Structure 1
Amino acid sequence: MQVDVVVVGGGAMGSAAAWQLARSGKSVVLLERFEAGHHMGASHGATRNFNTAYPEADYLDLLAESKILWDELAAEHGAPLLDLVGLANHGNLPKLEQIHAAHQERGVESYFISANEAADRWQGMNFSTDVLFVPGSGRVRSADALVALRTAAEARGAIFKYSTPVQAIRVTGGESVVVVTEDVEYAARRVVVTAGAWTNKILDGLVKLPALVVTQEQPAHFTPLDNTLVWPSFNHNPDPDPNNEAYEYWYSPVYGMLTPGEGVKAGWHGVGPVMDPDERTFQPIPQQLEALVRYAEEWLPGVDPSTAVPISCTYTTTPNEDFVLDHFGPLVVGAGFSGHGFKFTPAIGRILKDIVDGGTAPERFSASR
């Protein structure tokens, strides 16, 4: 079957790429090895943080574009995809001051409030320092976003094929690639690989990428004690002083948000065990879960710590946590998004479309960098 572009991997980034490619007029087939809505990778779940607490100009530019595109997609979808409940950032004040300075330079609204004022405003939380609050942040309705991306792409002619593993990719020329599945071979001018934890397995040595480390992460939902409490999304960084014993049990910074109907989500960032995505246990590391429950006891007085319901997902990260958005001849690769990528999804789709058309990504995301 002949097609302009094959997208391999139907999570958030692949779906966004298919949407952007289809609305640019290209014929697109997306191939996803699992069924629609599966929980095997990194894109499932009802919510993600829409976190604008970045000091880097290029990430802030990408966030600004993402906000515009999320709103465009929501208008087409007919329902909101962002809940701008705000983002409360605390801990490590020098880092927050750097972020605030970058916000002021880029015109992003953010401001500091005292820990006491923050505790009065958000009574389900305790705060370690002054809080940098970003009112234009909040949550992405991630499960709804996947449906919206697929619907918008299919409305423009893209074909999404689930439960369709890719068996091989063969580069047959500078403008020609063959993608082999059990039933069909697809000949395309470009192939976009957005396969998350399976990226290296799919590419099978065809390209040289930065190291992609796959870990199994285990955040948890906690039941609120009072459903009238207001919850912002939040980031909590430990004290940079290594001698502060209050943080000795921490594995990493903590992120979190309210997931309506499921509870308050909190998790360590990128500290789960390294794992083959086809050999996951889906079980939390007991010591990490115990530490997360302790975190809830100490810092989230608005939840019942005993109600922790662990969640399992994969992270795929590069050594510096920057994404890879690059091409290798007719192969276009998007990888390494885990931990902070979902909020950028529609803009990542646009970048991947531009690379297909011969453009380039911002320098930060080059595979060689």
Structure 2
Amino acid sequence: MNTVPDTVVIGGGAMGSAAAWALSRRGRQVTLVEQFGPGHKIGASHGSTRNLNPGYQRPEYVAMLAESFTLWEELEQEGGEQLLTRTGIVTHGPDPQLPEIAAVLTQAGLRAELLHPDEAGERWRGIRFDQQVLHMPDGGQLNPEAALPAFRRLAAARGADIRHNTKVVDFQVTDDSVRLVLESAAGTETVTAAQVVVTAGGWTEKLLGAAGGFRLPKLTVTQEQPLHFRMADEGAVWPGFNHYPGSGPEYQGWYSPVYGMHTPGEGIKAGWHGVGPVVDPDRRSFLPEPQQLAALQDYARTWLPGVDADSFVAISCTYTTTPDEDFILDRIGPVVIGAGFSGHGFKFTPVIGRILADLATGTRPAPEIFRASR
């Protein structure tokens, strides 16, 4: 069977679901194909908490932050479900850029204040604060387990065709269209699309590499292993948090900055950022790397007095990271690419959906920093 849809979105995680939502809002014919079932835990978009951390100073990201707050609110209103809990975000440590970030955010209309560690410790006693603290009250936690179905449900209500358990087994690009072969329980289907939006996460290089002709920044897929620690202090109030290390002996054994948040019903999530083992997304162990796990426990013993560092549940997800940690948002012929979200993209999900829809419809290009040819 051969079908000819307007736009096919490949990959039904956060960014693909948001792209389908954004395109359907413009009245476009959209087919979203995802190789796994709904709610799977094989990629990067599962779990019930992600930090919405406003701590940026580059103008492209700050502008996306402002739009992101607006679009998350629109999604909440349209879907009738709360997706963002505004617990605030605190970033601490000796990073000299924190005052500059505070100034940039304040100028952009986002709240930011610098606190002494003692004052922060009185507010959030589950955390031991380090040298200086940037408090961003507008930040908080997003819920992927609620957001992704909302994007897809609302897209489907506008006519989008959402297909789970459907794998792209052939991908061929011509000058003005893309020929796909899709495989599902219903059989094999050939699709010729006017354009394709590729939001395949850790599978991006596999998919586009098979098609040939795509030169992208190197994408490194890592298996990240955050932990949910049991709360030892039930009365503590928890913001989302980030801790940037310095060069002193107290930071020996760190792998990276640490991020964390409260996941209701599961504990306090904490993890290293983007330093897990490099993996093939089809051949993952899902098991914690022992040395990184032990180091994270040591971190919790020192810096998170509100948790039990010996009582935890390990979780697993993937990062797909570019060398500069800036995203890839670009169009090459009839192929739109959204990739390389580098462990900090989820907060921007509806904005990225809008940008991908812009690229697919020829409305406007993405910011220069996201070009594939950079």
Unpaired runs of 5+ residues, structure 1, are none
1:191 paired to 2:196:
yes
CA RMSD of aligned residues (A): 0.9
Corresponding residue SS for 1:277: coil
1:52, CA displacement in angstroms? Answer: 0.2
Which residue, out of 58, 75, 83, partners 1:81? Answer: 83
Q: How does 1:217-232 map to 2 (within 5 A)?
A: 217-232=224-239
CA distance in 1, matches of 2:270, 2:8: 36
Percent identity reads 55
Corresponding residue SS for 1:278: coil
Q: Which amino acid aligns with 1:66?
A: S
Name the structure 1 match of 2:264.
260
Contact 1:293–1:308 at 8 Å: present in 2 too? no
Contact 1:93–1:129 at 8 Å: present in 2 too? no
Contact 1:42–1:338 at 8 Å: present in 2 too? no
Q: Deviations over 1:141-170 (max 9, x none)?
A: 111111111111111111111111100111
1:238 paired to 2:242:
no
CA distance in 2, matches of 1:123, 1:233: 13
CA distance in 2, matches of 1:271, 1:107: 33
Contact 1:218–1:267 at 8 Å: present in 2 too? yes
The runs of at least 4 consecutive aligned structure 1 residues that moved more than 6 Å come to none
CA distance in 2, matches of 1:20, 1:350: 6
Unpaired runs of 5+ residues, structure 2, are none
Corresponding residue SS for 1:173: coil
Contact 2:99–2:114 at 8 Å: present in 1 too? no
Q: Which amino acid aligns with 1:224?
A: M
1:227, CA displacement in angstroms? Answer: 2.6
1:172, CA displacement in angstroms? Answer: 2.8
Name the structure 2 match of 1:285.
289
1:130, CA displacement in angstroms? Answer: 2.0
Q: Which amino acid aligns with 1:86?
A: G
Which residue, out of 6, 9, 13, partners 1:7? Answer: 9
Q: Deviations over 1:63-91 (max 9, x none)?
A: 11111000000011111110010001101
Structure 2 length normalisation: TM-score?
Answer: 0.96
Corresponding residue SS for 1:264: strand
Q: Which amino acid aligns with 1:92?
A: P
Structure 1 length normalisation: TM-score?
Answer: 0.97
- Mean CA deviation greater in 176-185 or 13-22: 176-185
1:249 paired to 2:250:
no
1:184, CA displacement in angstroms? Answer: 1.2
Corresponding residue SS for 1:305: strand
CA distance in 2, matches of 1:9, 1:211: 19
CA distance in 2, matches of 1:207, 1:168: 15
1:97, CA displacement in angstroms? Answer: 1.3
CA distance in 1, matches of 2:242, 2:357: 32
Name the structure 1 match of 2:223.
216
1:179 paired to 2:186:
no
1:222, CA displacement in angstroms? Answer: 0.5
1:225, CA displacement in angstroms? Answer: 1.5
| Count, aligned residues | 365
Contact 2:95–2:245 at 8 Å: present in 1 too? no
Name the structure 2 match of 1:353.
357
Q: How does 1:82-101 map to 2 (within 5 A)?
A: 82-101=84-103
1:92, CA displacement in angstroms? Answer: 2.3
Q: Deviations over 1:282-323 (max 9, x none)?
A: 011100000000111111111111112111111101000000
Name the structure 2 match of 1:146.
148
Name the structure 1 match of 2:307.
303
Contact 2:31–2:163 at 8 Å: present in 1 too? yes
Contact 2:329–2:371 at 8 Å: present in 1 too? yes
1:335, CA displacement in angstroms? Answer: 0.2
Which residue, out of 132, 135, 154, partners 2:134? Answer: 132
Corresponding residue SS for 2:45: coil
Corresponding residue SS for 1:3: coil
Corresponding residue SS for 1:103: helix
CA distance in 2, matches of 1:157, 1:227: 46
CA distance in 2, matches of 1:82, 1:198: 28
Corresponding residue SS for 1:184: strand
Q: Which amino acid aligns with 2:190?
A: E
1:26, CA displacement in angstroms? Answer: 0.8
CA distance in 1, matches of 2:105, 2:96: 14
1:275 paired to 2:279:
yes
Q: Which amino acid aligns with 1:57?
A: P
Q: Which amino acid aligns with 1:46?
A: S
CA distance in 2, matches of 1:206, 1:12: 26
Q: Deviations over 1:111-157 (max 9, x none)?
A: 01110111111011100112110000011111111111111111111
